[in-house]
Structure 1
C-alpha cells in the first residue's frame, strides 16, 4: 500500500508537506502543490487514518451519508442499505451531512479514511471532483441527487417529470395560479422540480410569474410567512406545488387556516390520514437504497460492464388524495380544452 512517505519521496518534499497539500492548505506554493498532486496520481495514493486497524484488508462497513437521518425519506434509504449490507455480513455507518455545503467534504473524508467497503451519498455540496481519487479505491454511489463534476454510479428519481405531473394535475383541476414552495433550489433535485413546474404551466399557456415561487420553506414559521406573502399578491395562487416533503409537512399546518389545493413531491408519515389527505408524487427511497447497495457489491465483484457505468433514473408516480381536489375559487376560469 502506498504511504505518505512514498508520495513525499516521489515529490521531493516532506511528509508534512504532503499532508498540507491533501488538506488544501492555502499556504503551499503552487509549484510544490502541483508536484505533490502529480505524485499522488502516479502512486494512486489516498490516506488511511485507520491503517493500523485494517492492515488485513478492507473494513466490512458501508458508509451512508445523507442530509438528515431523521428525515423519513433519507432514513428509509439508510435502512434499505443496512438491510442489504446485513445480508452480505457487512455493517453500516451513517452520518448526517446537514445543509451547509462546506461541511460535506470533511464529513465524507472522515468516513472514507476508514477504508470503507463502499460509500453511498445523498449530497449537499456543489463540487465532488475531489472524490475521484477516492473512487479509484472505494465504490461510491450517489442517490437522490447527482454529483457535481464527478462521474460515478448514480441513482436518482425523475424529478422534472414528477413536478410536471403534479402541476399538470392541478391545472386539470382548474387552477391557473399555482405557487411553487420549496427549499434550496441550488440542489439538483429542486432545480429539476422547479423546471417541471414551469414547463407544465408554459405548455398550458400560463405565463411564468416569479412572485409565485417561495423558497427556503423548511419549517412552520417559514411556511406561514410564505403563505402570507402569496395571499397578499394582487392575484394570489389557488394551488401549491410543494417541492419536497419537508416543505409539505410545514405547509399542512398553515393551510388549515388558508385552504388551497396542494400536491407535494414525496410522501411523508400520516399524509394519507390528514384532513384533507395530501396528494403526493410518490418516491421509492427503499428501492434507491437497495439499488445503491447492490451496485457497491457489483463493483466489488469486479463489475465494469457498460450498464454499470450509467446513471439510473427511477420513475415516480402521482398518488392523488383529497388535497389536490380543493376547488379553485369562482374567479378562476377553467383551462380551455385543447382542440
Structure 2
C-alpha cells in the first residue's frame, strides 16, 4: 500500500505538501494540486486515517451506543445517525450496551478512548456524572433516555404523554383495572410513562393500585411470571399498558388472543400483523437519531456553546384491534 512519503517522492514534493493537498488546503498552487492528485490516483493512495486522527487529535468517526443493536427501534436510531454522518464523510462506530447498567461505563469509556468526534448514546446506567470529564473534548448527546447526574443535550419522546394516552384509551374502552408492564424502572422513559399511566387513572377517578404494576419484565420467564401474578390477584386486570416494544413482543407469547386488552408503547415490525393487531403509541426513532447526530456536529463546529438543550418529540396513538378485546366490567 502506498504511503504519503511514496506519493511525495513520486510527485517531487514534500510529505507536508501531500497532506495539504489531501486536506484541501487553499494555499496549494493549482498546478501542484493537480500533479499531486494525479500521483495519488496512480499509486491508489489511501490515507492512514488512524494516524491522521492521532496527529490532529480529531476523529473522522462518531460513536453510537444503544442497548440492543438488533432492536428495530434502536436500529432505526443508529441508522439515522449513520445517514447524517455519511453525508459529512464521517464513519459511525456502533456498540451494544446490553441490559446490565454496571457495564455501561466500561463500554462507553472504551468507545470514547478512540478519540471520537462525538457520541450518541441511549443510556442504561444509573449515574452519568463521570462523563463530565469527557464533555470538553467530545460532544455527548443522549437519545431516547435522559442522563442521570449530568446536564447534556437530550432528544426524547414525550413519554409521559404517551403513557397517559395509552391508559386513557383503555379507560375509554371501559377498563378500570389496568396493569402496567415494563422493564427498567430507573430509566427516564419508564419513569415518565408510569407517571402518565398514573395521571390518566387519577383523572378518571381510579385509585392507582401498585399490585397492578410489574417491572423488570425482560424475557419470557419474567413475562410469564408477571402475567401469572396479575391473574392471581383478587381483582385481576382486564387490560394492560405495555410500557415498551420489547415487553409488548414478549406478551404475545404468554397471552391468549382475547384474554386482555393491550396498548403498547412503541410500534414494531409485524405489530399490525398479530392477531389481534396491536394498538400502539407510535414514535419516530429515525427523527430522534437525525436530531441527535445533527446536534453532535453542531457541537463540533461550535464547541464554545455551553447551553445544553432537551428536545421532546410528540407521540401519537395508532388504534388497531388489541384495545378492543378483553372483558371490561359492565
Post-superposition shift, 1:72?
1.1
1:59 aligned residue: 59
Q: Which has the larger radius of gyration?
A: 2
State the secondary structure of the residue aligned to 1:55: helix
TM-score, structure 2 as length reference: 0.82
Instruction: Count how many residue pairs are aligned between Structure 1 and Structure 2.
Output: 281
Show the 5 A alignment for 1:147-226.
Answer: 147-226=147-226
Show the 5 A alignment for 1:234-273.
Answer: 234-256=234-256, 259-273=259-273
Post-superposition shift, 1:274?
0.8
Post-superposition shift, 1:328?
2.8
RMSD of aligned Cα (Å): 1.7
Residues 146 and 188 in structure 2, CA contact (< 8 A), matched pair in contact too = yes
2:318 aligned residue: 319
State the secondary structure of the residue aligned to 1:54: helix
| 2:108 paired with 1:108 | yes
Residues 173 and 327 in structure 1, CA contact (< 8 A), matched pair in contact too = no
2:299 aligned residue: 299
Q: Distance in 1 between matches of 2:142 and 2:260?
A: 35
Q: Distance in 2 between matches of 1:117 and 1:304?
A: 15
Post-superposition shift, 1:305?
5.8
State the secondary structure of the residue aligned to 2:156: strand
TM-score, structure 1 as length reference: 0.80
Post-superposition shift, 1:109?
0.8
Which 10-residue stretch deviates more, 271-280 or 212-221? 212-221
Q: Distance in 1 between matches of 2:304 and 2:53?
A: 29
Listed as ranges, the gaps of 5+ residues in structure 2 are: 1-49
Post-superposition shift, 1:56?
2.5
Offset from partner CA, 1:46-99 (integer Å, 9 cap, x none): xxxx88961133110010011111111111100110111001100100111111
State the secondary structure of the residue aligned to 1:309: coil
In structure 2, the CA distance between the partners of 1:89 and 1:280, relative to structure 1 (3 Å rule), is same
Listed as ranges, the gaps of 5+ residues in structure 1 are: 1-49, 334-339
In structure 2, the CA distance between the partners of 1:287 and 1:304, relative to structure 1 (3 Å rule), is farther
Offset from partner CA, 1:208-254 (integer Å, 9 cap, x none): 11111111212222222211211111111000000001100000121
